[in-house]
Structure 1
Amino acid sequence: MCCPSASLAVWSSAWLHGAAASDDVLDAQRVWGEDHEVVAADPLGADAFDIPVAGERPAGLATFLTALRRLGAGPARFVLPVPGDVRGLGGGGPLTEAALRSGEAVVFAEIGYGVVPETIAEGLLRWTVHRITTAAPMEYIALGEAEHGLTSATRDSAGALQSLDVARERPGVRAELSERLRRTAHVSWPQGTPGRALRVLQRAEEIGAILALANADDPGGALSASAALRRADALRPLHDAVRTARFAAVNETIRVFADQPDLLP
C-alpha cells in the first residue's frame, strides 16, 4: 500500500525509537526493490551522511539508517507533493523539485535533510539525500478528519463515479479492479502500527484503484475534451481526499512511534 517513502518514513521512525530492528527495516523495503542505493545531491549531504555524491558508487540503505541515528534525526515526515501544494518541503529548491518529480519524499526536519526515491531499473531503487533550504513546520492532519474527508468526497463524487461505472459496458471491470489491488505492493508495517491508520490506508488504496480505472476508461480516446475535463473536475476532490488520507495515516503512525517511550537501551 501507498509508496516507498511511506514505508521508509514509518519503519525508520520505529527503528529510531527502538520499536523495530534494523534488519526488519531493510527487509520491509524490499517490496519496492531488491536493491536500494543511497547518494547525496551535494557534497554537504555526502559529508553529513558519509555517503557518496550522485554519480559515484552509491552506499546502501543500512549506511543511511546509521547516519540518521548518528545525526540525531527526529521523527520522519512523509510528504506527497503535487504542483501547487508542496507543504512540508520547506519551499523551493532541489528537494522540492525532486519530490515533485517523484510525487513523494521523506523529510527529517530536525536535521535539515530530506530523501527522495527514484526507480532506476527493475528491482533497483535509488534514494537521493537533499538539504532542506528553508525550515517548514510540520503540518498535522488528524486521522479522523482525513477519514471524514474521504467519506464526504466519496459521497459527493458518487454521481460522477456512477456515470463512469463501466461495469455495464465492460463486464470484466470488477476482475480488473481486483487485479489492480492484487498487484498493489503488500507492505509490511512495524508491530504497534495503529489499526485505524491501516484501515484508512487500505480504504484510500481501494478508492485510488477505482479512480485509476475511471481515469483509464477512455478506449481509443472516445471522450471529447470537454467530457474528459468534466470528469477530471468531478473526481479531483476524491483524488485530493485519497492523497490526504494517505498523508494523515502514515504521519499518524509516525507520531505514535515517536510518542511512545524510547525502547532503546
Structure 2
Amino acid sequence: MTASRPDIRTFLCRSDNIGVLLRDPATGACAAIDVPEAGPVLAALDETGWTLTDILVTHRHADHIDGIVEVKRRTGAKVTAPAKAGSAIPAVDVAVSEGDMVRVGSLTAVVWETPGHCADHVTYWFEGPRLIFAGDTLFTLGCGRVMEAEPAVLWRSLARFEGLPDETEVYSGHDYVLSNARFARAAEPDNARLVARMEEAERAKAEGRFLVPTTLGEERATNPFVRAAEPSLARSVDLAPGTEPERVFTALRAWKNKF
C-alpha cells in the first residue's frame, strides 16, 4: 500500500525566510521546519486547522529559531535540533546527529549532517515521499554562504544530494531565487534551461509566489553550484575544463560573495 503524500504549506517569515509546515494525513501529526518567527507559523496553523506536534530545526542561526519558544509554549510541540548546536537552540527535547531517524506521525526522515553554512547544520531527508528539507545548505538556484568552514566542506555536503532522484523536492530556508538567478545567468549565460527558469522566477515574484520547493532535477540543470563539474562553469571562473569540481565550486562561491 502506497503511503499518503504529506500535506505541505509554505509561507514567508521575516523578510525572506521560508516557513514550512509538513503534515502526515494518516495521523494528523504536523511539523514546522524551523521557526523563523512565531506569528506566521501560528497564523498558518490557524488557517489550516493543523495541530503542531513537532519542530524540526536545521541549524542554530537566529533567523531560523527566534520563534521556537513562543510556538512551543502555544502548541506543546516537541523540538528536535542538531546536537552540535548545543545550548544555542532553546527548548530542545531531542538532539540529533548523523544517521538518526526522526518521525512525524507515520513519516520518517533520516538526519544528515550537512556542515558548511555553519558547523551544526543538518538536513532532513524523507525518503518515502522524496522530500528534503535543506535549510541553508541548498537553495533554488544557489547555495548557502560558507560561514564556519572552508568551501570544500559545503561542497561535500551538497555532493551528498547527488544520489537522490531527480524528482526529489527541495525545501530551502530562504527565498533568494531572483538574486541567485541573476548570478547563475552571469556564470552560465548560454544555459537555455536557466533562461527559462529565471523567467519563471520573475513571474512567480510578480504574482507573490516563490520557487520553493524546487526539485533536484531542476537544480542539476540550472544551479551553478550543483553543476560545478560542467566545463562551461570552469571557464566562467578562469579555470581549465576538467578542473576538480571542488575547486570550481570554491571559485564560484567566492564570486557570488562579491556579486
- Output the TM-score relative to the length of structure 2: 0.28
More helix by share: 1
Q: Which has the higher contact order (CA 8 A, sep 6+)?
A: 1
- Output the TM-score relative to the length of structure 1: 0.28
State the structure with more CA Rg: 1
More strand by share: 2
